[in-house]
Chain A
Amino acid sequence: MIFSGGLYAAAETETSAEPVAKPAAIPAVKEEAPKDVMSELDELLKKNNKCLRCHSRDKFKTLEDGEELSLQVHKEDYISSAHGEVACVSCHEAIGNRKHPSKKTNISIASQRDYSLELNQSCRNCHDKKFAQYEGSIHASLVTQGSKKAPLCTDCHSAHAIETMANFDPVNDLPCKQCHENIYNAYTESVHGEARINGNVIRDSHIQAPICSDCHNAHEITALAIGDTIRSTCIGCHENVTLLHNQWLPNAGTHLEIVSCAVCHAPFAKRTFDFHLYDNVTGAPVTRPVDDELVQQKIQAIEESDGRVDPVEIWKTTGESGNQDQATDISLRSRMEVRSGVSAHQIAGKSFAVRTCDSCHQQESRLNQNVTVSIPGSDGRIQRVETDRESLSSVEAVNSISDFYALGGNPSKFLDILVLLSLAAGFAVPIGHFTMGKMIKELKERGEQ
């Protein structure tokens, strides 16, 4: 590293405050900084200029896969970027540590992706905390699994025109859109996206409408489709949500726990009763290794047959494949969820939210027709398999699915028959008793005659 931490930090702060005016900010730093530091900066800019003399030209390198890698760095973009004061060799360490490659000492690069993967590690040198967060993300997990599309640092931040967080905004083409376009479009049409586009104004009040990273984190990107994470994320901004629901919604606490916010607040979303395995010891959904063969075989068998699965079967399968050495207390839990990631982002204004209870609390509700089982992988991705309602009313399901209960939404033909029998008895006993009385009276009268 050429820079000391102190100088780098000063440069970053300056950049964050006025990213666009970055070049103008350099003299300001110069005026305040000690002479020796300034000479280092001058030295750096000279060295960078040395690199940029060639690399600002439109040059290409042919890679082993035949693809052409652009070697061009737009000077103005780089200088005005968040890394404008960072030496080129800080990231391109290999070049800094040895002679610049030439036709004689050519560096062999398999593909652009391989080169990006190699250089990705250099971000850790300065951004170790952010990089550690990234390593725990679903993006990094996909990279580890060999995905060619999963984003590296430069895919979101770009390689040389690095932008600061302040410039990341959905209305300015947030990088998430590159891969998640459908979800991005749903977001921009949602109450959150519209408010953001309208300058963070909703109902004439100024608010801080969320962007992708507010719910999913910027670097420790997580999938929010299972468990309580999404609810706590919503409540993070909508603090009085419990109080507001308590004012009108019976069993508000339970509803907020087992019904995903989007189920009611994305009124046109397709919904599903979604089952997942829950570890009662850790208090979190059970995740399976992404390559869990037993579960994968089971799902494959289901897909090859009728495409539907009994949640109890999945429950058993996962129980069998569980770690026998570890004491586990696993049960099958259900939540009302929206069916897709797109639906989860179609959040409408409060006045459009579903408030009719019988949307869920009746047997024939269209919402009740969809039943799925989710198997979250250890990387956060979810495999969702369709099942049917019949399997939920089986004797075995009642024993294992302790949480599946919705007033008016639970099919129990046995209890329905008992209701009818009770009603019939309520009529039959009086009518029978009355008729019998009449008959005995008549017989008695005949006998007396």
Chain B
Amino acid sequence: MSQIPSDPKQTDAWIKTRNPELYINPLPVRIWHWLNALGFVMLILTGTQIRYVNLFNLMSFETAIKTHNWVAFAVIANYFVWLGFYLFSDKITVYHPELNMRKFFDKAFKQIMYYSYGIFRGEKSPHNVVPHDKFNPMQSITYQIIMLMVVPMQFLTGIMMWDMKRFEGLINMVGGIHVVGTVHVMIYIFFISFTMIHAYMGALGKTPATHFREMFTGYEEEH
């Protein structure tokens, strides 16, 4: 198995000799991920400016609203890059390498134990990353909930609030603008901590930069 050299000078040379078996982040996923990351940060910042216009003055309310709307539509379009890639490629197995719930929960427990204790003892992650099974059970379940439930919910509530007149019927059907607004804000609240913790966990690789580099090159390094 290929392993990242300990000498930083040899890292470039190592990256150039990538092992195709460890190519876990294909180009569409990487493009989607980084555009999404940039979009999320901008949406959180503009969203915070919109909600707390009296607390700080990063930009005008009008600019914040317009930027929020444009970035949101870009993020929605980008979502379909992700969805399309997984729907129309065999890579969808990364979310469900085998449909065995018992095995899944067993692996999930081991992963929680690793994050809460084993990682500090320098233990190896119980999950072995390979292209068709790249997510550990915790990542798999979290990302599926986020990408299939939370994010679409945020898109829908956001679109409703973008043009309330056009979606008046739909807004009333789901319980009124208060419900829509509250759901949108609750998901925004969730993404504040999620984005920060996600970035921190990205730094828990062999070196703090390892996982970030993997997400740029597409190649898994820790083997």
Contacts and interface: CB of A to CB of B under 8 A. Distances in A.
Interface of A: 248, 250-251, 253-254, 257, 355-358, 361-365, 398, 402-403, 405, 407-408, 410, 412, 415, 418-419, 421-423, 425-427, 429-430, 433-434, 436-437, 440-441, 444
Nearest to A427: B196
B64 to A, nearest CB: 9
Given A361-B61, A418-B189, A405 B178 contact: yes
B121 interface: yes
B76 interface: no
Interface string B161-196: 111111000001000111001100110111011011
B53 to A, nearest CB: 4
Contacts of A362: 53-54, 61
B88 interface: no
Contact of A253 (B61, B165, B185, B193): B165
19 contacts: A250-B65, A250-B69, A251-B165, A253-B164, A356-B61, A357-B61, A357-B65, A361-B53, A362-B53, A402-B172, A402-B177, A405-B181, A408-B54, A418-B186, A423-B193, A425-B193, A436-B120, A440-B117, A441-B122
Interface string B117-140: 101111000000000000000000
Given A251-B161, A441-B120, 7 more contacts: A357-B65, A405-B177, A415-B185, A418-B189, A425-B197, A427-B196, A437-B120
Interface of B: 50-54, 60-62, 65-66, 69, 117, 119-122, 161-166, 172, 176-178, 181-182, 185-186, 188-190, 192-193, 195-197, 200
Given A357-B61, A433-B200, A410 B69 contact: no
B40 to A, nearest CB: 13
B200 A250 contact: no
A419 B69 CA distance: 21
Contacts, number: 111
Q: Which 6 A-B pairs have the closest CB atoms?
A: A253-B165, A426-B196, A430-B200, A440-B120, A357-B61, A402-B176
Contacts of B196: 425-427, 429-430
B117 A429 contact: no
Contacts of A363: 54
Given A250-B66, A251-B162, A358 B61 contact: yes
Contacts of B121: 440-441, 444
A110 B54 CA distance: 64
Contacts of A250: 62, 65-66, 69, 162
B119 to A, nearest CB: 7
Nearest to B182: A415
B212 to A, nearest CB: 15
B165 A257 contact: yes
B54 A419 contact: no
A422 B54 contact: no
B204 to A, nearest CB: 8
Contacts of B61: 356-358, 361-362, 408
Considering residues A408, A418, A436, A440, which has the most beta carbons from chain B within 10 angstroms of its beta carbon? A408
A408 B192 contact: no
B189 A419 contact: yes
A422 B192 contact: yes
Contacts of B161: 251, 407
Nearest to A398: B178
Contacts of A254: 164-165
A429 B62 contact: no
Contacts of B60: 356-358
A355 B65 CA distance: 14
B58 to A, nearest CB: 13
A168 to B, nearest CB: 38
Nearest to B163: A251
